[in-house]
Amino acid sequence: MRRVVITGCGIVSPVGIGKVAFWNSLRGGKSGIGQITQFNPEGFDSRIAGEVDDFCPPSFLSSKDIRRTPRFVQFALTATQEALEESRLDLQKIDPYSIGVIIGSGIGSLETIEKEHRVFLEKGPRRISPFLIPMLITNEAAGTVAIHFHLKGLNFCTVTACASGAHAIGEAYRAIAQDKTRVMIAGGTEACITQLAVGGFCALKALSTKNNEPQRASRPFDRNRDGFVMAEGAGIVILEEFEHAKKRGAYIYGELCGYGATCDAHHITAPSPEGEPAARAMELSLKEAGVRLDGKMYINAHGTSTQLNDKIETKAIKRAFGNFAKKVHVSSTKSMTGHTLGAAGAMEFITCLLSLRNKLIPPTINYENPDPECDLNYTPNKAVELDVETCLSNSLGFGGHNATLLVKKFK
């Protein structure tokens, strides 16, 4: 097994575009939730979301390319560009077959489906755009990134709902660790704040309806939580085989050395009641990394702000960590970003990298009324300075998909 390190990251989020703006918002407890502006939400039970404000498509896209490139792919391209620039990889000097891309998304371009379905109903099948299929398919983010940066290695997408981004990074890690490639671009992206998506999640009774106080709506682990808040964004990281990164003198954020993946095999939306499969994912990552339950550790929880998820994830952490569970710092940055679905795992993995780098644990904001069934240290409301040595990032997706990524301070 080869060592795998992270040498770059890029992010597009509701609390900032670029890792500096993103991190400054998280450390300051700033919420990115507001009223939906991408469509008129009147009549919807939930009318709030975490939208990416002031987003500009990458400069290398022409106006024609922009029209043919869906928003979730534009997010991925922007985050990839930032990650590559930070990594200082010279793509002209690297064999293009040695660099792969895995980018997950839970839904793809639902916006394209809605738009072209209206065209079909109003004008008939002959007026449907010839770009409908390539624009809506979920793998377009991975494919388009490879096309724009001329990368010819391993390339696919992961589609595991809210665990998509985490699984993408985990599978990219496996590819390098097993000596199948040297460099991987991996992460997740999502842009589905649309009428159909919001309406569907409203019908599922999954969204918060605190419409009059959007910045206080996402409140993971709080007794008064009433659902998650839809959001959008992308997170991309550059993973490298250690000797490859060392040889070129790259800056290293940390070492990815544990990845656990399991399935609840219980219910299409509800997590397994006792949290055993989610706990097993954490245990597998700890075992693979050879990490003992001591020292300075941080868990970036999936923490969606739904009744079931937060309660059961708490149970899972207790199962995995035993008596050490209450000594671990936990937080949910979805309290600030909202739930970016397929991008969440990647964005939260980047949060772990920045936590290691800056010796700071971001808070769970809006934590005001403790829930007796959620009784861990959730880093309430204010960031905590701590020289973290190990970070775990949990992602739990509809369908029972669980993924845990473990990153350590590089030594």
Q: How many CB atoms lie within 10 A of CB 169?
A: 34
Residue in 302, 352, 374, 401 annotated catalytic: 302
d(CA 171, CA 110): 25
10 Å Cβ neighbour count for 128?
A: 14
Give the contacts of 402 (CB within 8 A, at least 6 positions apart).
Answer: 163, 260, 261, 262, 263, 264, 277, 278, 280, 281, 394, 395, 396
CA distance linking residue 157 with residue 161, whole number of Å: 12
Q: What is the DSSP letter of 203?
A: H
HSE-CB at 102 with a 13 A cutoff on CA atoms is 22
268: Cβ contacts below 8 Å, ≥ 6 apart: 398, 399, 400
3-state DSSP percent of the chain in helix, strand and coil, to 5: 40, 20, 40
339 in catalytic set: yes
Instruction: List CB contacts of 323: < 8 A, sequence separation 6 or more.
Output: none
Query: Which one is catalytic: 9, 157, 162, 192?
Result: 162
Which one from 148, 167, 339, 401 is the annotated catalytic residue? 339
Our answer to whether residue 162 is catalytic in this structure is yes
* Catalytic residue ranges: 162, 302, 339
